[in-house]
Amino acid sequence: MKDRPFVHINCAATADGKIAAPDGSPLDISTIWDRRRVHRLRASLGAVLVGAGTVSADDPKLTVNPSYAGVSRDICKIVMDGRGRIDPASKSLRTNGRSIVVTTEAADAVWLGNFRRLEESLDMKVMVLEGGPDIDIDRCWSCLLEDGISGVLVEGGSDTIFNILRSGSFDMFSVFMAPIVMGGRGPTITGGIGFEGAPLRLHLRSVVQPPGGGILLEYVSSMP
Ligand SMILES: NC(=O)c1ccc[n+]([C@@H]2O[C@H](COP(=O)([O-])OP(=O)(O)OC[C@H]3O[C@@H](n4cnc5c(N)ncnc54)[C@H](OP(=O)(O)O)[C@@H]3O)[C@@H](O)[C@H]2O)c1
Protein backbone atom coordinates (compact mmCIF):
# COMPACT_ATOMS: atom_id res chain seq x y z
CA MET A 1 0.00 0.00 0.00
CA LYS A 2 1.30 3.45 -1.02
CA ASP A 3 1.88 6.25 1.49
CA ARG A 4 0.17 8.72 -0.79
CA PRO A 5 -3.07 9.04 -2.78
CA PHE A 6 -3.31 7.80 -6.37
CA VAL A 7 -2.24 10.85 -8.39
CA HIS A 8 -3.42 11.41 -11.96
CA ILE A 9 -2.23 14.60 -13.68
CA ASN A 10 -4.40 15.72 -16.59
CA CYS A 11 -4.62 18.70 -18.88
CA ALA A 12 -6.06 19.84 -22.18
CA ALA A 13 -3.66 21.46 -24.64
CA THR A 14 -3.60 22.81 -28.16
CA ALA A 15 -1.51 21.03 -30.80
CA ASP A 16 1.26 23.55 -29.99
CA GLY A 17 1.16 22.73 -26.28
CA LYS A 18 -0.69 25.80 -24.99
CA ILE A 19 -3.17 25.39 -22.14
CA ALA A 20 -4.62 28.91 -22.17
CA ALA A 21 -4.85 32.03 -24.33
CA PRO A 22 -1.73 34.24 -24.71
CA ASP A 23 -2.93 36.47 -21.85
CA GLY A 24 -3.53 33.44 -19.59
CA SER A 25 -7.30 33.61 -19.85
CA PRO A 26 -9.18 30.29 -20.20
CA LEU A 27 -9.32 28.65 -23.60
CA ASP A 28 -12.04 26.23 -24.70
CA ILE A 29 -9.84 23.27 -25.64
CA SER A 30 -11.76 20.14 -24.62
CA THR A 31 -14.30 18.35 -26.78
CA ILE A 32 -17.51 16.84 -25.35
CA TRP A 33 -15.77 13.45 -25.31
CA ASP A 34 -12.91 14.91 -23.27
CA ARG A 35 -15.22 16.72 -20.85
CA ARG A 36 -17.03 13.45 -20.19
CA ARG A 37 -13.72 11.71 -19.55
CA VAL A 38 -12.52 14.43 -17.15
CA HIS A 39 -15.78 14.60 -15.19
CA ARG A 40 -15.82 10.80 -14.86
CA LEU A 41 -12.22 10.94 -13.63
CA ARG A 42 -13.12 13.62 -11.08
CA ALA A 43 -16.02 11.49 -9.84
CA SER A 44 -13.99 8.29 -9.61
CA LEU A 45 -10.93 9.82 -7.91
CA GLY A 46 -12.98 11.96 -5.51
CA ALA A 47 -10.67 14.99 -5.41
CA VAL A 48 -9.36 17.59 -7.86
CA LEU A 49 -6.30 19.79 -7.32
CA VAL A 50 -5.16 23.04 -8.97
CA GLY A 51 -2.57 25.70 -8.23
CA ALA A 52 -3.18 29.20 -6.90
CA GLY A 53 -2.53 30.61 -10.40
CA THR A 54 -5.49 28.73 -11.84
CA VAL A 55 -7.82 29.86 -9.06
CA SER A 56 -6.67 33.46 -9.60
CA ALA A 57 -6.94 33.29 -13.41
CA ASP A 58 -10.03 31.10 -13.95
CA ASP A 59 -11.67 30.58 -10.54
CA PRO A 60 -13.01 27.20 -11.77
CA LYS A 61 -15.94 25.38 -10.16
CA LEU A 62 -13.96 22.10 -9.81
CA THR A 63 -17.14 20.05 -9.41
CA VAL A 64 -18.60 16.98 -11.10
CA ASN A 65 -21.17 17.90 -13.75
CA PRO A 66 -23.62 14.96 -13.77
CA SER A 67 -24.55 15.62 -17.40
CA TYR A 68 -20.94 14.80 -18.35
CA ALA A 69 -20.04 12.28 -15.64
CA GLY A 70 -23.31 10.33 -15.71
CA VAL A 71 -23.24 10.38 -11.88
CA SER A 72 -23.74 13.00 -9.21
CA ARG A 73 -20.98 13.27 -6.60
CA ASP A 74 -19.54 15.97 -4.39
CA ILE A 75 -15.75 15.90 -4.57
CA CYS A 76 -12.99 17.56 -2.58
CA LYS A 77 -11.38 20.64 -4.17
CA ILE A 78 -7.72 21.17 -3.29
CA VAL A 79 -5.68 24.32 -4.00
CA MET A 80 -1.88 24.48 -3.71
CA ASP A 81 -1.06 27.95 -2.49
CA GLY A 82 2.34 28.00 -0.77
CA ARG A 83 2.44 31.77 -0.15
CA GLY A 84 -1.25 32.26 0.59
CA ARG A 85 -2.51 34.46 -2.20
CA ILE A 86 -5.88 33.19 -3.39
CA ASP A 87 -8.84 35.47 -2.85
CA PRO A 88 -11.03 34.39 0.09
CA ALA A 89 -14.03 35.24 -2.13
CA SER A 90 -13.00 32.63 -4.75
CA LYS A 91 -15.94 30.74 -6.20
CA SER A 92 -13.82 27.56 -6.20
CA LEU A 93 -14.15 27.46 -2.38
CA ARG A 94 -17.92 27.87 -2.48
CA THR A 95 -19.06 25.27 -4.97
CA ASN A 96 -20.38 21.88 -3.77
CA GLY A 97 -17.98 19.67 -1.83
CA ARG A 98 -15.35 20.46 0.77
CA SER A 99 -12.20 22.42 -0.02
CA ILE A 100 -8.64 22.08 1.22
CA VAL A 101 -6.17 24.93 0.77
CA VAL A 102 -2.61 23.64 1.13
CA THR A 103 -0.23 26.37 2.21
CA THR A 104 3.00 26.75 4.21
CA GLU A 105 4.37 28.55 7.27
CA ALA A 106 5.58 31.22 4.81
CA ALA A 107 1.98 32.28 4.08
CA ASP A 108 1.04 35.85 4.82
CA ALA A 109 -0.30 36.09 8.41
CA VAL A 110 -3.25 38.33 7.51
CA TRP A 111 -4.25 35.99 4.66
CA LEU A 112 -3.99 32.99 6.99
CA GLY A 113 -6.13 34.72 9.62
CA ASN A 114 -8.81 35.43 7.01
CA PHE A 115 -8.80 31.80 5.88
CA ARG A 116 -8.93 30.50 9.48
CA ARG A 117 -12.10 32.55 9.95
CA LEU A 118 -13.52 31.15 6.70
CA GLU A 119 -13.04 27.60 8.06
CA GLU A 120 -15.86 28.39 10.49
CA SER A 121 -18.36 29.32 7.76
CA LEU A 122 -17.33 27.20 4.75
CA ASP A 123 -16.70 23.47 4.36
CA MET A 124 -13.02 24.32 4.06
CA LYS A 125 -9.74 23.40 5.74
CA VAL A 126 -6.40 25.19 5.57
CA MET A 127 -3.49 22.77 5.73
CA VAL A 128 -0.29 24.57 6.80
CA LEU A 129 2.87 22.63 5.99
CA GLU A 130 6.25 23.28 7.59
CA GLY A 131 8.72 25.59 5.85
CA GLY A 132 7.78 27.17 2.57
CA PRO A 133 6.91 28.89 0.44
CA ASP A 134 7.54 25.76 -1.67
CA ILE A 135 5.22 22.93 -0.78
CA ASP A 136 6.95 19.60 -0.31
CA ILE A 137 4.85 17.44 -2.64
CA ASP A 138 5.46 14.15 -0.76
CA ARG A 139 4.54 15.80 2.55
CA CYS A 140 1.44 17.27 0.91
CA TRP A 141 0.36 13.83 -0.37
CA SER A 142 0.86 12.18 3.02
CA CYS A 143 -1.18 14.91 4.79
CA LEU A 144 -3.96 14.54 2.22
CA LEU A 145 -3.93 10.76 2.67
CA GLU A 146 -4.22 11.22 6.46
CA ASP A 147 -7.22 13.43 5.71
CA GLY A 148 -8.93 10.60 3.84
CA ILE A 149 -7.99 11.63 0.29
CA SER A 150 -7.16 8.44 -1.62
CA GLY A 151 -7.14 9.80 -5.17
CA VAL A 152 -6.37 13.19 -6.74
CA LEU A 153 -6.90 14.51 -10.24
CA VAL A 154 -4.34 17.30 -10.78
CA GLU A 155 -5.73 19.67 -13.40
CA GLY A 156 -3.11 22.40 -13.68
CA GLY A 157 -1.91 24.87 -14.32
CA SER A 158 1.48 24.90 -15.88
CA ASP A 159 3.64 25.40 -12.77
CA THR A 160 1.70 22.98 -10.60
CA ILE A 161 1.93 20.24 -13.23
CA PHE A 162 5.68 20.78 -13.47
CA ASN A 163 6.16 20.75 -9.69
CA ILE A 164 4.30 17.47 -9.34
CA LEU A 165 5.99 15.84 -12.33
CA ARG A 166 9.36 16.91 -10.93
CA SER A 167 8.58 15.29 -7.58
CA GLY A 168 8.09 11.97 -9.35
CA SER A 169 5.18 11.30 -6.97
CA PHE A 170 2.42 10.64 -9.47
CA ASP A 171 0.93 7.64 -11.20
CA MET A 172 -0.53 8.87 -14.48
CA PHE A 173 -0.14 11.88 -16.74
CA SER A 174 -2.64 12.41 -19.53
CA VAL A 175 -2.80 15.16 -22.11
CA PHE A 176 -5.73 15.72 -24.43
CA MET A 177 -4.41 17.59 -27.48
CA ALA A 178 -7.00 19.38 -29.58
CA PRO A 179 -6.35 20.01 -33.28
CA ILE A 180 -6.03 23.77 -32.77
CA VAL A 181 -3.04 26.11 -32.58
CA MET A 182 -2.86 29.15 -30.32
CA GLY A 183 0.70 30.46 -30.66
CA GLY A 184 1.85 33.33 -28.47
CA ARG A 185 3.56 33.10 -25.10
CA GLY A 186 0.68 31.85 -23.00
CA PRO A 187 1.06 28.99 -20.48
CA THR A 188 2.12 25.63 -21.82
CA ILE A 189 1.54 22.12 -20.42
CA THR A 190 4.41 22.53 -17.97
CA GLY A 191 6.12 25.65 -16.67
CA GLY A 192 8.04 26.00 -13.43
CA ILE A 193 11.80 26.23 -13.28
CA GLY A 194 12.40 23.36 -15.70
CA PHE A 195 14.89 20.53 -15.31
CA GLU A 196 18.52 21.55 -15.07
CA GLY A 197 19.88 18.28 -16.34
CA ALA A 198 18.17 15.40 -18.06
CA PRO A 199 14.46 15.74 -18.77
CA LEU A 200 11.95 13.49 -17.05
CA ARG A 201 11.30 10.30 -19.01
CA LEU A 202 7.69 9.13 -19.21
CA HIS A 203 6.29 5.79 -20.33
CA LEU A 204 3.57 5.94 -22.96
CA ARG A 205 0.68 3.67 -21.98
CA SER A 206 -1.87 4.47 -24.69
CA VAL A 207 -2.82 6.76 -27.52
CA VAL A 208 -6.53 7.31 -28.14
CA GLN A 209 -8.07 9.01 -31.14
CA PRO A 210 -11.52 9.81 -29.78
CA PRO A 211 -14.64 10.77 -31.72
CA GLY A 212 -14.93 14.55 -32.11
CA GLY A 213 -11.23 15.08 -32.87
CA GLY A 214 -8.02 15.49 -30.94
CA ILE A 215 -5.76 12.89 -29.43
CA LEU A 216 -5.37 11.59 -25.88
CA LEU A 217 -1.87 10.65 -24.75
CA GLU A 218 -1.69 8.63 -21.55
CA TYR A 219 1.63 8.22 -19.77
CA VAL A 220 2.55 6.37 -16.60
CA SER A 221 5.40 7.29 -14.26
CA SER A 222 6.88 3.82 -14.35
CA MET A 223 6.23 0.57 -16.14
CA PRO A 224 4.61 -2.19 -14.03
N1 LIG B 1 -6.01 23.63 -20.25
C2 LIG B 1 -5.98 23.15 -19.03
O3 LIG B 1 -6.14 21.91 -18.84
C4 LIG B 1 -5.74 24.08 -17.87
C5 LIG B 1 -6.06 23.62 -16.57
C6 LIG B 1 -5.80 24.48 -15.49
C7 LIG B 1 -5.26 25.74 -15.71
N8 LIG B 1 -5.00 26.15 -16.98
C9 LIG B 1 -4.38 27.47 -17.20
O10 LIG B 1 -3.16 27.50 -16.49
C11 LIG B 1 -2.84 28.87 -16.18
C12 LIG B 1 -2.36 28.94 -14.75
O13 LIG B 1 -1.14 28.24 -14.67
P14 LIG B 1 0.01 28.79 -13.74
O15 LIG B 1 1.20 27.96 -14.00
O16 LIG B 1 0.11 30.27 -13.87
O17 LIG B 1 -0.58 28.56 -12.28
P18 LIG B 1 -0.87 27.26 -11.39
O19 LIG B 1 0.00 26.13 -11.74
O20 LIG B 1 -2.35 27.05 -11.37
O21 LIG B 1 -0.49 27.84 -9.97
C22 LIG B 1 0.87 28.09 -9.73
C23 LIG B 1 1.01 28.70 -8.37
O24 LIG B 1 0.48 27.83 -7.37
C25 LIG B 1 1.35 27.80 -6.27
N26 LIG B 1 1.98 26.47 -6.23
C27 LIG B 1 1.93 25.47 -7.13
N28 LIG B 1 2.70 24.44 -6.75
C29 LIG B 1 3.28 24.82 -5.60
C30 LIG B 1 4.21 24.21 -4.72
N31 LIG B 1 4.71 22.98 -4.92
N32 LIG B 1 4.60 24.91 -3.63
C33 LIG B 1 4.11 26.14 -3.39
N34 LIG B 1 3.21 26.76 -4.16
C35 LIG B 1 2.82 26.11 -5.27
C36 LIG B 1 2.42 28.86 -6.52
O37 LIG B 1 1.96 30.08 -6.03
P38 LIG B 1 3.03 31.27 -5.69
O39 LIG B 1 3.56 31.76 -6.96
O40 LIG B 1 2.20 32.29 -5.00
O41 LIG B 1 4.07 30.67 -4.81
C42 LIG B 1 2.47 28.88 -8.04
O43 LIG B 1 2.93 30.06 -8.63
C44 LIG B 1 -4.10 29.69 -16.43
O45 LIG B 1 -3.90 30.44 -17.61
C46 LIG B 1 -5.17 28.63 -16.64
O47 LIG B 1 -6.16 29.07 -17.55
C48 LIG B 1 -5.23 25.35 -18.05
- Taking only the tens place, the pLDDT of each residue in 73-87 is 999 999 999 999 999
Q: In total, how many domains does the chain have?
A: 1
Q: What is the pLDDT of residue 1?
A: 54
Q: What is the pLDDT of residue 222?
A: 83
Containing domain of residue 117, as a range? 6-220
Helix residue spans in 58-187 (DSSP H): 66-69, 109-121, 137-146, 158-167
Q: Is residue 119 a part of any domain in this protein?
A: yes
Q: Is the CB of 101 under 6 A from ligand 1?
A: no
Q: Mapping DSSP to helix (H, G, I), strand (E, B) and coil, where does residue 12 land?
A: strand
Q: Is residue 212 a part of any domain in this protein?
A: yes
Give dist(CA 126, CA 194) in Å, integer.
28
The answer to whether residue 52 scores a pLDDT higher than 70 is yes
**What DSSP line would sit under 54-82, residue for residue?**
HHHHT-------HHHHSS----EEEEE-T
Q: Is residue 131 a part of any domain in this protein?
A: yes
Of all protein residues, whose CA lies closest to atom 47 belonging to ligand 1?
Answer: 26
Q: Is residue 1 a part of any domain in this protein?
A: no
Q: Is residue 138 a part of any domain in this protein?
A: yes
Q: Is residue 42 a part of any domain in this protein?
A: yes
Q: Is residue 80 a part of any domain in this protein?
A: yes
Q: What is the pLDDT of residue 144?
A: 98
Residue 113 falls in which region: left (phi positive, over 0), alpha (psi -120 to 50) or beta: alpha
| Domain CATH code at residue 150 | 3.40.430.10
Q: Is the CB of 146 under 6 A from ligand 1?
A: no
- Taking only the tens place, the pLDDT of each residue in 11-47 is 999 999 999 999 999 999 999 999 999 999 999 999 9
